[in-house]
Amino acid sequence: MPVTSLALLRQWVCRQTPEQADWLKTQYARLGESANERDLHLFLGLAPRRLGKQDLILSPTDLALANQAYPGWNPSGWSLDGAARIAALLIFQGPRPFPAAFQDLVRTADARELVTLYRGLALYPQPQLLSFEVGEGLRSNMRSVFESIVHRNPYPRDHFDEHRWNHMVLKALFIGSRLGPIVGLDERANVELARILLDYAQERWAAGRQVSPELWRCIGPFAESVSAYEALERALAGTPDERGAATLALIAADTPSARTLLLTTPATTALVAEGRINWDNLTLLEAA
């Protein structure tokens, strides 16, 4: 039988709080039959009180199973009560369709709860109908709420149109967030995004500000179409991180002009070829 995200969540939560396993079992059984949203609200309120708010402890095997249950699902960084709450949402059979109940949950959520609600997006029933609430979360000024949608969450890859995807990436850069944890970053790269990001880099430079080296990752494959060589040349002359990123981007571009530019940075190009520099590791770390 294929493993489900719900089965995994239940297993992880009960494993970490065996003393609450009976309580959880009773609660989940009730939520599975209940037509009462009040029961759901009550459970969501009680979960952190009964279970605590510590990190969910996950092994590499657990993470592999998560990815098997839903490709791209990465629950690292989830909290124990968050996992229990999301399991409850997956179990709940209420009087209204899930998206309507979800709208009210978001409307009344506290800050930590919002993070939890958004982390589970990809796993919920009818996820494509949650688009409005997702938009509200993306517009949030609470960085942790924005990142709960954007990082280690396959929902954007699977449900965002190109416009929303591109603006998500741009906002991540704008607020100083990482691009690396975005699920499907390379898969969803597109020429329009490359153009937007190149403009953004020029604007930052004109204001005397830095740009995140991660930005070149989304530009590399389209360097030719958006005429990014001059900008990439500038990045090559920048900090070690920028040099590493520009080198990786030029390798991804794989055009004659890119190859010519790469000749000016043979050492970094060689490190990339050896796998010692990559997008998760832009500069060579000193040997430990």
Nearest approach, Cβ of 108 to another protein (angstroms)?
5
Give Cβ neighbours of residue 241 (< 8 Å, ≥ 6 apart): 213, 282, 283
Q: Is the alpha carbon torsion for 279, 221, 252, 248 positive or negative?
A: negative
Residue 108 touching another protein (CB under 8 A): yes
Residue 114 touching another protein (CB under 8 A): yes
Residue 206 touching another protein (CB under 8 A): no
| Residue with smaller CB distance to another protein, 77 or 94 | 77
In degrees and rounded to multiples of 5, residue 55 shows phi and psi of -60, 145
Restricted to residues 120-149, the positions that interact with another protein (CB under 8 A) are 141-144, 147
Restricted to residues 28-87, the positions that interact with another protein (CB under 8 A) are 41-42, 45, 48-49, 53-55, 77, 79
Q: Is the alpha carbon torsion for 107, 112, 114, 120 positive or negative?
A: negative
| CA nearest to 78, candidates 141, 151, 171 | 151
Exactly one of 1, 60, 107, 206 binds another protein (CB under 8 A); that residue is 107
Residue 100 touching another protein (CB under 8 A): no
SS (H, E, C) 142-180: CHHHHHHHHECCCHHHHHCCHHHHHHHHHHHHHCCCCCC
Exactly one of 22, 33, 110, 192 binds another protein (CB under 8 A); that residue is 110
Cβ atoms < 10 Å from Cβ of 187: 8
Residue 113 touching another protein (CB under 8 A): yes
Q: Identify which range of 1-9, 14-22, 101-109, 182-190 contacts another protein by CB under 8 A.
A: 101-109
User: Any bridge partners for residue 182, and if so which?
Assistant: 151
Cβ atoms < 10 Å from Cβ of 50: 16
Q: Is the alpha carbon torsion for 4, 6, 12, 15 positive or negative?
A: negative
Radius of gyration of the chain (CA): 22
Q: Alpha-carbon distance 288 to 280, whole Å?
A: 17
Q: Which residue is associated with the tokens 């993070």?
A: 115
Nearest approach, Cβ of 209 to another protein (angstroms)?
10
Q: Identify which range of 7-15, 112-120, 126-134, 253-261 contacts another protein by CB under 8 A.
A: 112-120
Exactly one of 11, 21, 36, 112 binds another protein (CB under 8 A); that residue is 112
Residue count, binding to another protein (CB under 8 A): 24
Nearest approach, Cβ of 39 to another protein (angstroms)?
13
Nearest approach, Cβ of 96 to another protein (angstroms)?
15
Nearest approach, Cβ of 70 to another protein (angstroms)?
22
| Residue with smaller CB distance to another protein, 47 or 218 | 47
Q: Which residues bind another protein (CB under 8 A)?
A: 41-42, 45, 48-49, 53-55, 77, 79, 107-115, 141-144, 147
